[in-house]
Amino acid sequence: MKLLYNIALMCIAAAGCACSGSSSDEPSVNPPEAASKWHLIWQDDFAGDALDESVWSRIPQGSPDWQKFQSTDPRCLEIRDGKLLLKAIVNADNPDDSRPYICGGIWTSGKKRFAPGSIKVRARVGNGAQGAWPAIWMMPFAPVDPWPTCGEIDIMERLNHETTFYQTLHSNYTYNLGITDDPVNSMRTELDPMAYHEFEVQIWTDRVDFYIDGRRTLRYPKKNDGAQGQFPYFTEWDLRLDMQLGGSWVGSVDASQLPVEMEIDWVKYYQYY
């Protein structure tokens, strides 16, 4: 694994801070040999009774919208029957925390980095609630620039009770300059929220591809050599799995509709060689 990781770092250094997406049957990066294919490098199937703390940390409360109600309270996270349960709950009878509701999430920030490749997560979001916002997403492991210039990859987001699932890329180009149609940076897909689905992102040197249940939903190509901060995606990332509450995008929280939870079955990381 160390050899594969070093190879990935060499590729990043050679390509600078560019990115790409790809389809597993239409790779845009010239493979080293005709037999090149995806290889499973790492996975977590949450088979034990506790988080692997060499990889994951609980997400603490923070100032951004998505993080205001994050909590390390043990009631917000459970590992049961090989599933990771991330919960949003009413925060009753807690003299040490006056927030009306709290939610749980985990990230690999500062611990495990993912070089360009494929991240797949099998998850079920279940019943929604007003103000609930489950997400699977990535941020640069060691960002040089502030958000949004550093880039952000949203592998899956869902708001409230919707059956619409979002997959989105953020950057200076899409957020500050507001260019979201050339190329299109976000896709909505209708899904059964009570069923498990596989959400995937593939990061290549010249594009980013999103998939749901093995079907490509969005391809985001690099344009004009990534000018204007259009393509900060060919770098190392951390991974974030969280149940979020409230914020300017999702709106206010209806505590009477809590608790809700997102179930994570497994996480898998692949490289192509």
Residue 13 scores a pLDDT above 70: no
Return the CATH number at 229. 2.60.120.200
Q: Are 270 and 131 in contact (CB under 8 A)?
A: no
Q: Does residue 22 surpass a pLDDT of 50?
A: no
Examine the pLDDT at 12 and tell me if it is beyond 80.
Answer: no
Q: How many domains does the chain have?
A: 1
Q: What is the pLDDT of residue 34?
A: 53
pLDDT grade, residue 16 (50/70/90)? very low
Cβ proximity of 21 and 201 under 8 Å? yes
Q: What pLDDT is attached to residue 127?
A: 94
Whether 141 shows a pLDDT value over 80: the answer reads yes
Sorted by sequence, the CB contacts under 8 Å of residue 234 that are 6+ apart come out as: 12, 15, 16, 17, 18, 19, 20, 116, 203, 204, 205
Cα(208)–Cα(219) distance, integer angstroms: 6
pLDDT at 150 over 70: yes
> Does 69 have pLDDT greater than 80?
yes
Supply the Cα-derived Rg of the chain in whole angstroms: 18
**pLDDT of 47 strictly over 80:** yes
pLDDT at 85: 98
pLDDT-derived band at 266 (thresholds 50, 70, 90) equals very high
The whole-number pLDDT of residue 93 equals 85
Report the pLDDT averaged over residues 38-49.
96
Only one residue has tokens 């507001």, namely 178
**Dist CA 11 CA 210 (whole Å):** 21
How confident is the prediction for the chain on average, in pLDDT?
Answer: 90
What is the pTM for the complete model shown? 0.88
| Euclidean distance between CA atoms 269 and 247, whole angstroms | 30
117 pLDDT above the threshold of 80:
yes
Residue range 218-260, pLDDT digits in tens: 999 999 999 999 999 999 999 999 999 999 999 999 999 999 9
Domain that holds residue 79: 2-272
| Of 174, 154, 162, 157, nearest in space to 230 by CA | 174
pLDDT band at 121; cut points 50, 70, 90: very high
Residues whose CB falls within 8 Å of the CB of residue 170, separated by 6 or more in sequence, listed in order: 147, 148, 151, 152, 154, 185
Q: What is the reported pLDDT for 110?
A: 98
Percent of the chain as helix, strand, coil, to the nearest 5: 10, 40, 45
Map residue 65 onto helix, strand or coil: helix
- The gap from C-alpha 13 to its chain's centroid, in whole angstroms, comes to 23
Q: Residue 163 — very low, low, confident or very high, per pLDDT cuts 50/70/90?
A: very high
Which pLDDT does position 36 carry in this prediction? 85
What are 25's two structure tokens?
A: 């049957």
With cut-offs at 50, 70 and 90, classify the pLDDT of residue 5: very low
What SS3 class is residue 48? Answer: coil
Report the DSSP beta bridge partners of residue 107: 57, 240
Q: Quick one: pLDDT at residue 35? A: 66
